[in-house]
Structures are given as C-alpha cells and as structure tokens.
Chains A and B, each alone.
Chain A
Amino acid sequence: MFAQVAGIYPWPYDGTWAPESAALVVVDMQRDFVDPTGWLGQIGADTAPLSGIVPAVAELIALARAAGIFIVYTVEAHRPDLSDLPANKRWRAERLGHPIGAQGPLGRHLVQGEAGAAIVPTLAPSAGAPVVAKPGKSAFLGSDFDQILRRRGIRNLILAGVTTDGAVQCTLRDANDRGYECLIVTDATASDSLSHHDDQIHTLALAGGHYGSIARLADLRVALASKVAA
C-alpha cells in the first residue's frame, strides 16, 4: 500500500492505495503529436511543449513499473480504411491541408500501424502492455479501454500525456463520470499552447477538483517511496 499523493486534495480520496487497483494511463504520446514531423506539427502547431514532457513521462512510467502499477497507453489512430472516421472530423483535417489518412513524413496521418501512430521510442511500451487505439479524443469511445481496466479491477487512474486540453481532459472527464478516482499529473501533461494547458488545469481544479485530484510528478514520487502497512 502507498500513502496518499499530496495533490489539490490527498489522492485517492479514500486513503491508502494498492498498486493493483491503480493504472497509469499514458495518453497519445505518439509521434503524430510529439514528433515535429508528425501530423500536429504539419498543421502548424507547436510540438515543443509536447516533446518537453517526454522525460517526465519516462520517469512516471519507470516509477509505475517499479511499483507494479499497470500501464495502459492510448493512441489516436483510425482504421486504415477510415471506416471509424466521422465525416466532420475528416473534413476539418482536410481543411487544414493535412487530411487524416494522407501520406506524411511518418506515413499516413493518424492511422493505426503507421509510424506516426507509434509511441515515441523513449516511452516504448513493454511487451504485453496494452496500447488502445481510439478514434476520438476520449479513450472510452469506440475502444476496449474500459473493459481492460474493469477486468483488472482498476479503480484509480493516474493520467499523463497529451494534450491537456484534448485527449487527456476528455478521457479524464469520462473516467470521472464512470466513477474512477483520477489523478492528473500536471508536469507530465502538455498542450501545444502553454496557456491552454494552464487554463485547463485551472478549470479542472474548480470546486476542489471535481474531476479528481491534481498533483505534480514530485508528489507522486514521494507517495510511491512511502510504502505503508495495509
């Protein structure tokens, strides 16, 4: 058992926590977003804040592995035939000049199995770690994400990855509605816009943290170093 994490409220809310009831969710740390030659960079967004958190996410993964915490990775990626791509999402990317499914430097943009859909090499999943390909922002929509968590009896989620104002917050919101007790690690999440990151964290902190608690990597490091009796 671990001590509570010192976030905006002590997490989890109900006291000490067991590694087997928790999962680290590494959201969309794929080359399409993090690598400057990927889709997000192609449409002109600043990927530097995203690649900037790779060391923090790497440490979080190492901490989770050492503690025996289950790790799930997500990627935003569509089927090669794009049968899971809503018409309006397709249209918006076309309008930006870089259609989903079109060839880019990292293969077809946001398509499963392409180089851009791979997790950045520094954070490569261990053999057997699940990677959930999702067609939307939330990991719960159109995927087996919830099934994987529930089968293991996971109730506490630690969220990291990109982007704070995109897939991270959408997954957090859905997880919270489903009763998962969530912790967002602010310095292991990022947006292409620093202000959108800060503003998103600010709104998540409203009402004492109505989607879960919010902490820094250092807070998690302390909690994971403090084994306590069950």
Chain B
Amino acid sequence: MNLPTIDARPYAWPFDGRWSPRDTALVVIDMQTDFLKAGGYCDQMGLDIGLTASAIEPTVRVLARMRALGFTIVHTREGHRADLSDLHDNKRWRSARIGAEIGCAGPCGRLLTRGEPGWDIVPEVYPSPGEPIVDKPGKGSFHATDFELILKQRGIRNLIFAGVTSDCCVHTTMTNANDRGYECLMLADGSAALETRNHDMIVAITTKLGGQFGAVATADEVLAALDD
C-alpha cells in the first residue's frame, strides 16, 4: 500500500507515487551538540547556532510520526576516531586555522571526536534502540561508511532528509543519494544552516531544473500525507 504523495516542490513526492514504511527512510543528519548547542564545534567557531537549533522542533514531529508508523530511521554523526586516524590533514589544518581544531578540547569535550559529549546526538531527537547510527568522517554519509549497505539491506529507495546543516552534510548526502538513484525529499523546516542565505540557496538549487536533486516539503506537508 502506498501512502498519499507529499505536496512538495517542484513535484508531488515521490515521483512515482511509491512510498511506504517498507521502502522509505528518514535520515536525520548530524543533530549533534557540536552543531546545535552552546560549547560545541560551531559555537566555538563563532557561528549562529540559533539558526541550526530551529531544525529540531519540526524534525521531532516528523521523527515521532515516522517512528510510530514503523519507517526506518537512520541517524548520522560527523566525527573522527579518537586517534584521528580518519582525519585528513587538510581538514585538520582548516579547523585549526579558524580556532576550532578537531580533536582538541572544548567545553563539550574534544571537538568532533567520537565518544565525546559534544559529538553525540541531542536528546530531543536521540535514536531509539534499533535505529542505526552511521558515524562518518566526512560531509557525505556514503563515504567511508556502511550507510548504503544498511539502506540496501532494508530495500530502501526513498529518503527523507532532516538535520544540519542544509548546505553542508544534508546537501552533500542528498546529492550523493540522488546520483545513486534514491528518490529524495528535504525537509524545508526540519533542516537548517548557519546562515539563512545558505539554507535558502540549497532549497532553490534543489528544486530548480525540475528538481535536479529531488524535492522539498515542510514537516506539516509530510505529516499531512502520513495522517491520511
């Protein structure tokens, strides 16, 4: 049984009308203290975490509903091994240059380092037991991870994206997924960037050319399709 399509832009999603809890996953990207809360990596860089935190509430609502309906929920976290053996030299250099060197101590533990308080997912959207968490060393979730293996094992073909940041890990993963043939939807309000301009640009370039990377809808639009 397919669910009603979502009233998304630039087309009713998914393109072929085929979606259900069996073939669709919610991917919650990098909802970590390092990106959302005071003392984390972004806060240390002096960026506006008020904007990124705005993605939490809409994500909570979609997550709760999709979880209740039995959809696959996958969470990702950006972070490096404690010995930093998976950290490229240029990524480390860049983070040091702006005063937030990956692996160094901050108010929430070592920045972007696995196992540290700042690296973990915020309580509002914390994974339930059994929901896969993908730890990734880069922006894209497919690179150097088992993300795609997990999706294939479950027969997932449609992905709904929430999380942060819109222009970084959300967009990188969504474009990666789109290139691989997954049918993708970005939550307009369940994702956020560190600058409004960057979020708005991602929405614009995602929906242009007939939806070159997929479609965009709000949490309410997704929930409307799930409540029918």
By a beta-carbon cutoff of 8 Å, the part of chain A in contact with chain B is 9, 12-14, 43, 45, 86-89, 91-93, 95-96, 135-138, 141-142, 165-166, 170, 173-174, 176-179, 181, 193, 196, 199-200, 202-203, 206-212
Contacts and interface: CB of A to CB of B under 8 A. Distances in A.
B94 A14 contact: no
Interface string B9-26: 001001110000000000
Given A14-B90, A141-B179, A176-B138, A196 B205 contact: yes
Given A91-B16, A141-B179, A13 B208 contact: no
Contacts of B16: 87-88, 91
A89 B214 CA distance: 9
A137 B179 contact: yes
Contacts of A170: 175-176, 179
A22 B208 CA distance: 33
Interface string B46-78: 010000000000000000000000000000000
Question: 7 tightest CB-CB pairs across the interface, nearest first?
Answer: A136-B179, A86-B181, A177-B138, A199-B201, A179-B88, A203-B198, A165-B205
Interface in B182-219: 183, 193-195, 197-198, 200-202, 204-205, 208-214
Interface string B156-181: 00000000000110011001101111
Q: What class of interface size applies to chain B in its complex with A?
A: 35 or more
A147 to B, nearest CB: 16
Contacts, number: 129
A86 B47 CA distance: 38
B200 to A, nearest CB: 8
A43 B210 CA distance: 9
Contacts of A181: 90
B210 A179 contact: no
B143 interface: yes
B139 interface: yes
Nearest to B204: A196
A144 B213 CA distance: 22
Label chain B's interface by main secondary structure.
loop
Contact of A208 (B97, B195, B200, B205): B97
A13 B139 contact: no
A177 B172 contact: yes
Given A88-B181, A137-B179, A14 B89 contact: yes
Contacts of B143: 174, 177-178
Contact of B197 (A137, A178, A202, A210): A202
B45 interface: yes
Nearest to A173: B172
A210 B94 contact: yes
B140 A173 contact: yes
Given A14-B89, A92-B11, A177-B144, 4 more contacts: A92-B212, A137-B175, A174-B143, A177-B172
Contacts of B149: none
Contact of A177 (B94, B139, B193, B209): B139
Contacts of B178: 88-89, 136-137
A154 to B, nearest CB: 14
Given A13-B93, A177-B138, A179-B90, A166 B212 contact: yes
B1 interface: no
B11 A95 contact: yes
B94 A208 contact: yes
A212 B94 CA distance: 9
Contacts of A142: 179
